[in-house]
Structure 1
Amino acid sequence: MRIKTSNSELMKTLSNIGKVISSKPIEQILSNVLIRIDEKINLIGTNLEQGIECVLEGEINDLSDGVREVVLPFSILRDIVSKLDMNDTTEIELSSKKGVIKQKNASYSLNCFNPEAFAILPKIEEKLSFSLNLSFLRFLIENTIFAASKKEESRKEFKGVLIDSKDGFINFVATDSTALALNKKQAELPEMSFIIPWRALDIFSKIDTGKDDNVKVISDGNSMKFMLSNLTLISLLINGKFPAYETVIPESFEYSAEVNKDDFLKSLKRVNILASKGNERINLTFSNGFVEIESASTEVGEGKEKVQCNANTEISIQFYSEKLINGIEHVPSQTVLFGINGPLHPVLIKGQDNDSYVYVIMPQKPSE
C-alpha cells in the first residue's frame, strides 16, 4: 500500500503521537508507531497507560497487497520526516517487511515489525459521557496539574487530578499533600468523580490540534477517552481514594493580606536565586504597608526585598519557594489575597473577588 500526504501534516501527527511514546519503554515494541489503513490513515502510539490515535490527512493508494497494518520505528521515522521539506509532499510505501519514505530525490527504507505484537488500545464502553470546549478544558488542566506530585514514590492519588462534577460545577483538584490547587467552573455535566494521571492531562493539553474544538469525553470507570475530530487520547484511571479536598480548604481566617501579583512574583523569583539549592525556601514577613521577602544560603549569601502589602497583622511564614511561586502564578487576578491562621497553619491563596481558583499551601517550620 502507498500513502501520500503533506510532510508538515505528517510531522504534526508524529509530534502528537510522540507525546505518549517513551524513550525508554518497558517493552521494545512500544518504541514504535502503528500505521493502520481502513477508510482513513490512522497512526497509533502507546505506553500502555496512555495511548493516542491520530487521523492523518492524505491519499491512500494501491491496496492490492492486502497489507493494512504495519509497525515502524517511531524515533527514526520522526527524525527522517523532520529533516525533509515541510512544504512538499511525502510518500510512504508500506509492505509487511519494509516502509519506504520518499520525497523528491530522497528515499529511506525502514524495517517493519510484527503488528500483532503491538499493544491494542482498549475499547471503552460508554457508561458516562460529556463534552467540553477544548480551550476551557486546557485552561482547567494547565491551572491544576502543576500541584500534582511528580515523584514516583508518591501515593498514586497524589500523581493524579481529581475531576469532580456536582451541583452545576466541575472541579479539577490536584495535591501532593503539601499544597493543593482547586479550579472550579460552572458546567452542567453529569455527576462524576474520577482520578486521572496528571501525565495524561499534560499530554492532552500539549496536543497540536490546529483549531479550537469540542472534546467528547467518555469513561467506563477504568479508562477515560478524550475524542477530537482527528485525534483520540485514551488513559487508564487511577483506582484510589482522593483526599477530602473540601475539608482541607480553610473557611475562615484570623489574618489576611493582599499584594499586587506582578510585583510580588518578580520579587519572589529574584529573591529565590539566593535560596539554598535543594532546599529552596522563602520567608515572608507581612506587616501593614509591606511584605518582606527573604531567602538565604550559607554557601552564597542572602537576598531581601520589600513589596507593598495591605495586611491586618504582623506575621512571619516560611514556604517552599517553588510551591509558593507556582501557586501565585496561576492566580487569575492582579490582586492576590492571603488567608492566614498562623505561621504553621495552611495558608489560602486566591484572587480578589474570584473563587474559581483556590490554592492551599502548608508553611514550613523555620528551624527545618
Structure 2
Amino acid sequence: MKFEIDKRDLLSLIGKTQNIVEKRNTMPILVNILLEADNDALKVFATDLEVSLTDQVKIKVVQPGKVAVSAKSLFDIAKELSEGTIQLIKKENNWLEIKQGKYTSKIVGISADEYPIFPTYNAQSFIKVQASVLKDMIDKTIFSVSTDETRYHLNGVYFEIVGGTGFRMVATDGHRMSIVNRIQNDAKSNAAGVIIPRKGLGEIKKLLDGVDGTVEIAIEGSQFILKHSSTTLMIRLIEGKYPNYQQFIPQKLTQKIEINRENFLTSLKRVSLLANQKSKAVQLNLTNGKMEISSNNPELGDAKEEIEVDYHGNELKIGFNAKFITDILTSIAEDRIDFELNDQLSPGLVRPHNDTSYTCVLMPMRI
C-alpha cells in the first residue's frame, strides 16, 4: 500500500475516529483504525463494537492495500506535520511509514485481517431529517440519561417515530425525565421504539455539528444508522424494554408559574454555590408574584435570592436538585418558561412557555 494525501484531508478523516476507538484497553486491537486505499480513495474504519464509523476521501493511490494502525499515533503525527502532501507507505511487517519532506517515521501496524469484522447494513428505507432538528432533540434529552450501569436500559435515549408524523426522544434517570417531540411529515416507519446509547448520541452530535441541511437515518435490526455525505455512523442499540414513560408524566397540576428563564437560571447558579455539594438541594418558596430560592450547607454557609414570577396562589415550599433545573433551563432557548406543580411531594413539570412539544418532569427533594 502506498498513497499520497493532503494533511487537511487526513486530519479531517481520522479526527472523526478519535472518540470512537476503544481507550479502556479491554480489546487492545480496538485502539486501531483500518485504512484501505483503493480506487483513488482512502477509506477509514473505526469501531469499539458499540459505535462504528466509516468515511472516505479522494487521494492519489500509487499502490492499493490496507493496514490497521493506532488512531492516536497517526493523528498526533499528522497534526504536527506541515501543510501539504503526506506520503503513507505500508511496509512488509505491517508498519506504516509516514513521509513528508525530510521527515520520516514508522508506526507499528497490524494486519487488516486481524481487525474485527465491520458491521454492514442493507437498509433501503432511509428517512431524511434536518440535522438541526436531530441535534436539538439530543441536546434536550441527553442530560437526563442515566449513568447507572445496573439500569442499562436507561443508559440511552428512547427514540421512536410517532404515527408517521414525527419523532420523539425520551430520557430518564429516575429523578428527572425529558420528552421532546418534533413534526416531520415523511417520518414513516414500521420500527418500534429503540434505545440509542449515550456514547452513540455523543458521536451523532459531533457529526451533526456544522452540518447544514439534512442527514439520513435508518433503523435496521439492532443498529441505528446515520449517513451524511461520505460518512456513515452505525450504533449498536441497547437491548431491553424501555419503561412506560407516559405514566410518569403528571396530569392536572394545580399551580402554574411563569418565569423569566434567564433570571431563574442565573439566580439558581448563584444560590446553588452554597448548596450541599452532593445533593445540590435548593428550596423554592413561592408566594404571590415572588419566588425565593435558598440553599443551606452547614459546612459552607447559606444563600438566598428573590426573583419576580407570575404566580398567584397559596404559599408553596418545595425542594429540588439545582443542577437538574439548570440542565433543563440551559436546554431551552425561549425567554419564558412554565413551571407546573401540585405540592411539595409531587413531581413538577418544566416547559417552554405555552409549548407542549418539550416537557421535563422533575422529582422533588425533601429538605
TM tier, smaller: over 0.9
Partner of 1:119: 116
User: Which of residues 187, 190, 193 in structure 1 aligns to 2:188?
Assistant: 190
Corresponding residue of 1:107? 104
Residue identity matched to 2:74: L
Residue 346 of structure 1 is matched in structure 2 by: 347
Question: Helix, strand or coil: the match of 1:24?
Answer: coil
Q: Is the 8 A contact 1:195 1:238 kept in 2?
A: yes
CA distance in 2 between partners of 1:282 and 1:175 (Å): 21
SS of aligned partner of 1:235: strand
Q: Secondary structure at the match of 1:206?
A: helix
1:56 and 1:304 map into 2 onto residues whose CA distance is: 56
Q: Which secondary structure does the structure 1 equivalent of 2:126 belong to?
A: strand
d(CA) in 2 for partners of 1:210 and 1:355? 28
Correspondence for 2:170: 173
- After the TM superposition, which parts of structure 1 deviate over 3 Å for at least 4 consecutive aligned residues? 208-211
Cα deviation, residue 250, structure 1: 2.0
What TM-score do you get using the length of structure 1 for normalisation?
Answer: 0.93
Aligned ranges for residues 203-214 of structure 1 at < 5 Å? 203-207=203-207, 211-214=211-214
8 Å Cα contact 2:131-2:211 kept in structure 1:
no
Cα offset for 1:159?
0.6
Aligned residue in 1 for 2:49: 48
The alpha-carbon deviation at position 287 of structure 1 amounts to 1.6
Aligned partner of 2:329 in structure 1 is 328
Correspondence for 1:145 = 142
Deviates more, 1:193-202 or 1:243-252: 243-252
- On the 8 A contact 1:125/1:219 being kept in 2, the answer is no
State the match for 1:277 in structure 2. 277
Go from structure 1 to structure 2 and tell me whether the alpha carbon gap of 1:348 and 1:221 turns closer, same or farther (over 3 Å shift): same
Aligned partner letter, 1:141: I
Q: Among residues 164, 172, 180, which one is paired with 2:160 in the alignment? A: 164
Normalised TM-score (structure 2): 0.93
Change (3 A) 1:83 1:300: same
Whether the 8 Å CA contact 1:20–1:45 is kept in 2: the answer is: yes
CA contact (8 A) 1:331 1:351 kept: yes
Matches of residues 1-368 of structure 1 in structure 2 within 5 Å? 1-39=1-39, 40-63=41-64, 68-85=65-82, 87-96=83-92, 97-126=94-123, 129-153=126-150, 155-167=151-163, 168-188=165-185, 189-191=187-189, 192=191, 193-207=193-207, 211-313=211-313, 314-366=315-367
Unaligned 5+ runs, structure 2: none
Q: For the residues of structure 1 that align with 2:188 and 2:345, how far apart are their CA atoms?
A: 38
1:10 alignment partner AA: L
CA distance in 2, matches of 1:156, 1:83: 40
Give, in angstroms, the shift of residue 236 of structure 1: 0.8
Q: Deviation string for 1:261-283 (max 9, x for gaps)?
A: 01110111111111112221111
Q: What is the alpha-carbon distance in structure 2 between the residues aligned to residue 264 and residue 280 of structure 1?
A: 16
Rounded Cα–Cα distance in structure 1 between residues aligned with 2:275 and 2:285 = 16
In the alignment, the residues of structure 1 paired with residue 321 and residue 157 of structure 2 have an alpha-carbon distance, to the nearest angstrom, of 21
Deviations 1:12-46 (A, max 9, x none): 22221112113223100001111012332111111
Amino acid aligned to 2:356: D
Retained in 2: the 8 A contact 1:258–1:338? yes
AA at the equivalent of 2:316 = I
User: Does the CA-based 8 Å contact 2:3-2:37 persist in structure 1?
Assistant: no
- What amino acid does structure 2 have at the position aligned with 1:9? D
Identity level (%):
25
Q: Which amino acid aligns with 2:127?
A: F
Q: Which amino acid aligns with 1:107?
A: T
CA distance in 1, matches of 2:200, 2:24: 18
Instruction: Tell me the distance in 1 between the aligned counterparts of 2:58 and 2:95.
Output: 22
Per the alignment, in what secondary structure is the counterpart of residue 355 of structure 1? coil
Work out whether residues 338 and 354 of structure 2, in 8 Å CA contact, stay in contact via their aligned partners in 1: no
Q: Per-residue displacement from partner, 1:222-249 (whole Å, max 9, x unpaired)?
A: 1111111121111111121112222222
Whether contact under 8 Å (1:275, 1:281) holds in the other structure is: yes
Change (3 A) 1:122 1:147: same
What secondary structure does 1:137 align onto?
helix
- Equivalent AA in structure 1 for residue 224 of structure 2: M
Shift of 1:152: 2.4
CA distance in 1, matches of 2:37, 2:205: 27
8 Å CA contact 1:17–1:52 kept in 2: the answer is: yes
Counterparts of 2:147 and 2:6 in 1: how far apart (Å)? 37
2: distance between equivalents of 1:98 and 1:225? 32
- The worse-fitting range, judged by mean Cα deviation, of 183-192 and 173-182 is 183-192
Q: Note the residue ranges of structure 1 that are not aligned, 5 or more in a row.
A: none
Q: Secondary structure of the residue that 2:110 maps to in structure 1?
A: coil
SS of the aligned residue for 1:310 comes to coil
8 Å contact kept, 1:121–1:234: no
TM-superposed CA distance for 1:8, in Å, is 2.0
